Chains A and B, each alone.
Chain A
Amino acid sequence: MIKNLLTCTLACLLLLSGVAKAVTLNVMTSYPQPVVMVMQQAFEEAHPDIELNILWRRPHDALSLLLQEESADVDVIWMPSVRTFLSLKAHEKLAQLKLNREGLPILLGETAISDPQGYFIATEIAGYGLFFEPEKLKQAGLVVPNQWQDLLAAEWQDNIALPIPSEVSFAHMLIDQLLQAEGWQTGWNQWQQIAANSHLMGRGGMFTTEAVLAGQAKVAFTMDFFAATSIANGANGKFIYPKQTAFNPAHVGILAKSTQPEAAHTFVDFLVSEQGQSLLLHPDLRKLPVRPSVYSEAPNMQNPFAGNILHQYDYQTGLQRREYNAVVFDAAITMHHDKLKQAWQQWHQLQQNANADQRAALAEIKTVLQQWPLKEPAMDEAIVQDCAQRHDDDEKQQNCEEFKSELAQSFERQYDKALNMLAQFNAKT
């Protein structure tokens, strides 16, 4: 019987082979291999008549290619990059989607995560938060933070892993969400102080979550899926969203000049279907579904659509000044990190045992440390534009570099001044 069945199966497979040559759908993505692998395999099994040809590009490279008049033969764009989708839509490169949107909210809180006009749709979201090992935090006498500002305190010195926005792309939005929530100067002052407690993490090295697992930090700024995949793969860690945070949506869209619109819609439908959304729960993915009904399958995953996490973020503002912010971060923090750390560490130490007079003097030093020479820029300001386009234009690159250099010198003078004041304070006491 088994033999007969097997023979039949084999024969059927042989019959199927070569019966219908699959349509090839060119999909441009910036997702890593595990995401592509899980989705591609499931999609091709569900739709054997469509074969995905994956064209991988980083978002800025994908955008630059797709904006060219004679761009590559791409049918679908699928990646976590709001900027890419907004720009493609603005350049009329996307086709309007014909989808059944039932069960797929456009808004998260008050923020739209999908294009209201239907040119692109969210496929998953990822939020910012903190990763730590509860036991190690307890051993170090540290209390689990529940807001970003908790990390300003002296006890977090050398205990935080913080990504550098000019090197780690997810950090752009992390930085800006605090600026948007707290205001320009307060937000930057908080980042200065948090950074003074932090190990700065750059490109190509360990993930911030790994810095925690390796014992180099007690808490890491990260995105939920980095933490969740780490935990799903065996790490003894925990992730929390602070009271106020931001969520970054990933999208899919169909190129207006796609020659395979039907197959493209099949793929888009699949990504946002119950099946496609459930695949996001795979231990190597752990992305937040945009179809709220899927959360019932994931009791350990917080559902941001339930309204328990405060999310207010203006993507346009964040996108327009992301490169500018990265330059400011480097000038104010990365380039003088040692001095910034030293100054804040000394300040905290002296503050602990200071009397009232001394506290007044220390308050003055704090004011110097927190002087912020930049007003919140208007989005059409030339330097914001120059920094935004610095990778594509030599002149703009030069302008942005000059701005960065002057700003860095200004911050260095400021930190030197604070350090001198701290030295004098020490000498007196």
Chain B
Amino acid sequence: MKRENWLILILAVVFIFPMACAKKQVVVPSAVSEQPAAPKAEAEKAITVTGEKEEGAVEGLEEKISEEELAKQEKMKREEILKQEIASFENEDIYFDFDKYNIRPDAAEVLKRKAEWLKQHPNVHILIEGHCDEWGSEEYNLALGERRANSTREFLINLGVNPECVSTISYGEERPTVVPPAYCENVRQFLLNRGLRPNHAPVSVTGTKITLEMINTCESAWAKNRRCHFVVVKY
């Protein structure tokens, strides 16, 4: 074999081998599942070794420790406050109209507050989850959910939030926060027969099996699922 050929062969092995490894292949007899992550045992072992206590601490370090303790407590307090702020940040979703992904005025209010907080905490990284109600096809809703997440992200960036701290994901209609009661199917039929979409004007229900209460329940369930949810992934 010529020298060049050997070189090509070695290069091929060097490049192709990691590529082949990138795709995990697993053989499972009955159903197909993906390979589990690297065995945990090794990692745990490593932790227990370094975590062993050093006995016989030197005297005279007590004062220093108490100072450190104070700083620690201060830090913990700050962390506690931050955690509460994160919880309230994550608790507040923004909502969208049916089959739409533009930011509504009520959502804009929420986003302005969120943007201020994010700018005060430049270390915080967030994930915006786009969600949809169950009207329409799964595939279309995956795309719609991403549109919602993207327009939310754009809105935050326009308010001065660092783009690198905001990522998005779409869950389409796969993770509804509220599952509407079964009778909502009839309510939807009722509304559509009157040419109404979600977010409609007041409607008369006299002479039907539908009550205003039922309509409100369904409407609010659907509306709650047309949302973006916020998750703090790093702080």
**Real binding pair:** no
Binding site for B on A (CB under 8 A): none
On B, residues with C-beta under 8 Å from A are none
